[in-house]
Structure 1
């Protein structure tokens, strides 16, 4: 694997090579061992809060398995299955205004996600959905990459991947300013929780091996998400109207707080490998169950 090319492509510091060798190459070897003899694509789920490094880890696993071991790998993000603006606007009118904002369960097309996985399993040509966050809409279908045969691995990454629903009692009490002011009756968060308990679990049940990048707490999320937005703004060079201000990011992350904190609490026990991060996103230790 050309690690220097990988670092350049993803604008990573040279220190990432050492991190990858210590933590991620052994993870890839574990994935290969578990994938041996699998009769259909081996599905790897990667969970982590916003800005934790999910996308970079996904890219590393794909590059390593492809270049070193000749495996066919398809990478999917839960973000690529977001509903378009018009669909979310309809939900905002029908259910609750907060559903206009992409992110929470209920704002993804889980039927499309399940169909995409089934097509990949069957080996038929499969178009991979792609979402453009700068325009806040899916890319045109004509631009979706097409996979012509069944892959050896499918990686599904996302901030809520693998997270179970909460109990109805847990959902009742607001946990931040957004929930208290904009969702005083709990309509939005109850809808989100009900959605999470539905087709999302069917999707997550297809995961064969789960990985978590575990943040120290939700407090890190705002800073990490801010860095992410600044990077996005620089990459589109003013072309995207969907770029958020710092204040908008602060409001935006509150949409994610409930499920992120729930994930930090319950998901480590459910994952096969957990990488424990500090506030600088440095891995300090790992918990490997298999």
Structure 2
């Protein structure tokens, strides 16, 4: 594998090469062992809160497995299955105004995700959905990548991938300012939890091997997201109109607090590999069950 090329492509520091060699190459080798002799793709789930590094890990696994072992790897993000603006606007009118904001369960096209997986598993000609966050809509379907064979691996990454729903009594008390002020009756969070309990679980049950990048706490999500916004503000070539203030970031991440905290409490026990992160996103420990 051309690690220097990978670092350059993803604008990563040279220190990432050591991290990959220590933690991620062994993970890739474990995945290979599980894939041996399989007649269908090995489906890998990667969970991590915003800014934890799950997209980079996904890219590394794809690059490593394809270049070193000539494996066919399809990478998908739960973000690629977001509903378009008009569908979310309809949900916001019909169910609750907070559903205009993409992110939580209920704002994804899960039937499309399930159909995409079915096509990949059976080797059909498959268009891979892609979402354009700049326009807040999916890319036109003619621009979606197409795969015409059954892959060896399918990687699904996302902040809520693999997470189970909460018990109904856990959803009732608000846990932050957003829920208390903008969802006082609990309609939004109950809808989100019900959605998570439905076809999302059908999708997550397809996962053969679950990985988690485990943050120390939800507090890191705000700090890591803030770092991303500040870095964007320093770039000269982007449109700054979409950059959030510190206060807007604080409000935005509250949409994800409930499920993220639930994931930090419950998901590690259901994972095959858990990488525990410190406040600077360094891996300080791993737990491997298979």
TM-score by length of 1: 0.97
Q: How far apart, in 2, do the equivalents of 1:34 and 1:285 lie?
A: 22
Q: 1:210 & 1:240 partners in 2: Cα distance?
A: 36
Q: Is the 8 A contact 1:210 1:271 kept in 2?
A: yes
What SS class does the counterpart of residue 267 from structure 1 fall into?
Answer: helix
**CA-to-partner distance for each residue in 1:211-237, whole Å, 9 max, x for gaps?**
000000000001111233445566793
Equivalent residue for 1:39? 39
- 1:141/1:133 Cα in 2 relative to 1: closer, same or farther (>3 Å)? same
Unaligned stretches of 5+ residues in structure 1: none
Match of residue 100 from structure 1: 100
**Aligned in 2, Cα 1:145/1:232: closer, same or farther, shift over 3 Å?**
farther
Change in CA separation of 1:224 and 1:63 when aligned onto 2, cut-off 3 Å: same
Larger CA deviation: 242-251 vs 231-240: 231-240
Q: Which residue of 1 aligns with 2:178?
A: 178
Between 1:280-289 and 1:133-142, the stretch displaced more is 133-142
**In 1: Cα distance, 2:189 partner to 2:258 partner:** 9
SS at match of 1:66: helix
Given the superposition, is the C-alpha separation of residues 121 and 253 from structure 1 closer, same or farther in structure 2, using an over 3 Å criterion?
A: same
1:21 maps to: 21
**Alpha-carbon contact 1:135-1:240 (below 8 Å) kept:** no
Partner of 1:12: 12
Q: Which residue pairs with 2:88 in the alignment?
A: 88
**Structure 1's 242 and 90: CA in aligned 2 closer, same or farther, altered over 3 A?**
farther
SS at match of 2:202: helix
Alpha carbons of 1:223 and 1:100: their partners in 2 closer, same or farther (altered >3 Å)? Answer: same
Deviations 1:88-130 (A, max 9, x none): 1100000000000000000000000000000001111111111
Residue 114 in 1 paired to residue 114 in 2?
yes
Following superposition, the deviation at residue 179 of structure 1 comes to 0.2
Structure 2 unpaired stretches of 5+: none
- Answer whether contact 1:134 1:241 (CA < 8 A) is retained: no
Shift of the alpha carbon at 1:242? 4.2
Specify the SS of the correspondent of 1:55: helix
Q: Secondary structure at the match of 1:274?
A: strand
Q: C-alpha separation between the residues in 1 aligned to 2:6 and 2:25?
A: 14
- Per the normalisation by structure 2, the TM-score is 0.97
After superposition, the Cα gap between the structure-2 partners of 1:274 and 1:192, relative to the gap in structure 1 and judged at 3 Å, is: same
Q: CA deviation at 1:249?
A: 1.6
Aligned pairs, number: 290
Alignment partners' CA distance in 2, 1:106 and 1:286:
32
CA distance in 2, matches of 1:220, 1:284: 15
1:248 to partner: Cα distance: 1.8
> How far apart in 2 are the matches of 1:78 and 1:4?
28
Matches within 5 A, 1:99-178: 99-178=99-178
Aligned residue in 1 for 2:276: 276
